[in-house]
Structure 1
């Protein structure tokens, strides 16, 4: 690869690293694994960088590789992983309710099946249109719509989010 292409790839990575890690974290539920998945996706992207650069949407290409890399880790490693609402390395109570709500949302996302989680994260966190999500996941538009509806319904019924919604409403009443 030419020095100019390497510089272009480096700039691409620097501008998108944090967003890719955030997306990977929402898919995996673990910061360390999220960084590993993002790094693996970018390694695969680097190998095909000339083709990626010529693509209409390099970001979509990398997101697709990110989702596929996350899915592949379950195929290669047959160790059962269980995401938990109470991770063993708890750092204690955080006094800020917004951070607590973010944790509850991540826990609720972790409870969703992988396909629903991927659709919800790409559609509502990354704010991608349904057609783009369908293209990234390699599925039909109807599948994206149904998985999004099912995922959102589960999130609405999740006990942690129901409580967070009630606390937010109580807080809003206190401020009025």
Structure 2
């Protein structure tokens, strides 16, 4: 890689790391795994740097890489065993309920099927268009629409169950995730 390309990649990585880490976190629900996924995704971007379209394809490729890494991590057998043994920490009450609402949404996201979770996160958190989401996931736009619709319906159902507290309105969910 040329010296200028190294500088361009470093600039891109610094700007994209936080966004990729948050996207990964919303998909897997674990900050440590999200950090690893974001780093692995940036390694994939680095390896393909000279072949990528630097004007339009960098963010799409980076999102595709982070989604792929998170889904690959979930398939590892040792990862599933570890998750089964984890005991979740009980958070302290939040008088403003913003943290509680955020945790409810993150827990509900974790219960979605991987493809639904990816579509909901990319569409409503990462603000990708239907076409961009389809490109990142390697599926058709119709599949993105249906998976997003099913994922949002499942989220609504989970968030409005008795015992989950009051859920945020549908148009407020994005703010809750931030």
- TM-score normalised to the size of structure 1? 0.84
Whole-angstrom distance in 1 between the partners of 2:134 and 2:128: 10
The answer on 1:163 being equivalent to 2:165 is: yes
Alignment CA distance shift 1:101-1:33 (3 Å): same
Alignment CA distance shift 1:81-1:94 (3 Å): farther
Whole-angstrom distance in 2 between the partners of 1:82 and 1:156: 29
Match of residue 173 from structure 1:
none
Three-state SS of the structure 1 residue aligned to 2:56 is coil
Match of residue 152 from structure 1:
152
Alignment CA distance shift 1:132-1:83 (3 Å): farther
Q: Give 5+ residue unaligned stretches, structure 1.
A: 168-176
Is the 8 Å Cα contact of residues 105 and 159 (structure 2) preserved in structure 1?
no
Match of residue 127 from structure 2:
127
Is the 8 Å Cα contact of residues 73 and 79 (structure 2) preserved in structure 1?
no
Write out the 4+ residue segments of structure 1 that deviate beyond 6 Å after TM superposition. Answer: none
The answer on 1:98 being equivalent to 2:98 is: yes
CA RMSD, 1 decimal: 2.5
| Larger Rg computed on CA atoms | 1
Whole-angstrom distance in 1 between the partners of 2:136 and 2:81: 25
Match of residue 176 from structure 2:
none
Pairwise CA distance, 1:48: 1.2
Pairwise CA distance, 1:10: 0.8
Whole-angstrom distance in 1 between the partners of 2:90 and 2:44: 33
Pairwise CA distance, 1:52: 2.2
Whole-angstrom distance in 1 between the partners of 2:131 and 2:168: 34
Is the 8 Å Cα contact of residues 116 and 147 (structure 2) preserved in structure 1?
yes
Pairwise CA distance, 1:93: 2.6
Is the 8 Å Cα contact of residues 41 and 69 (structure 2) preserved in structure 1?
yes
Pairwise CA distance, 1:69: 1.1
Q: Give 5+ residue unaligned stretches, structure 2.
A: 170-178
Aligned residues: 166
Is the 8 Å Cα contact of residues 41 and 66 (structure 2) preserved in structure 1?
yes
